[in-house]
Amino acid sequence: MRDSWRKSSFSGAGDCLEWRFADEGVDVRDSKHPAGPVLTFSWSEWRAFICAVEAGEAHPPRTP
């Protein structure tokens, strides 16, 4: 069973990410292109991502 899509609380104007829980893990898509591709991450991949964010290891690229 899939949940409804949720928007990231970190989404800004133009940088929108949506996610939902799925049976096999977590689906992620670009909210500007809801009919576009969906990435599915396994539960272990999603947990590793969340742990990296919480540890400060994941941050956006720097712009010049």
List, for residues 4-62, the tens digit of each pLDDT value. Answer: 999 877 666 666 889 999 988 999 998 888 899 999 999 999 999 889 988 888 776 77
Distance CA 57, CA 50 (A): 10
The pLDDT assigned to 5 comes to 92
The pLDDT assigned to 14 comes to 65
The pLDDT assigned to 64 comes to 65
Q: Which residue has the higher pLDDT, 1 or 55?
A: 55
| 21, 3 contact by CB (below 8 A) | yes
Here the tokens at position 15 are: 């940088």
pTM comes to 0.73
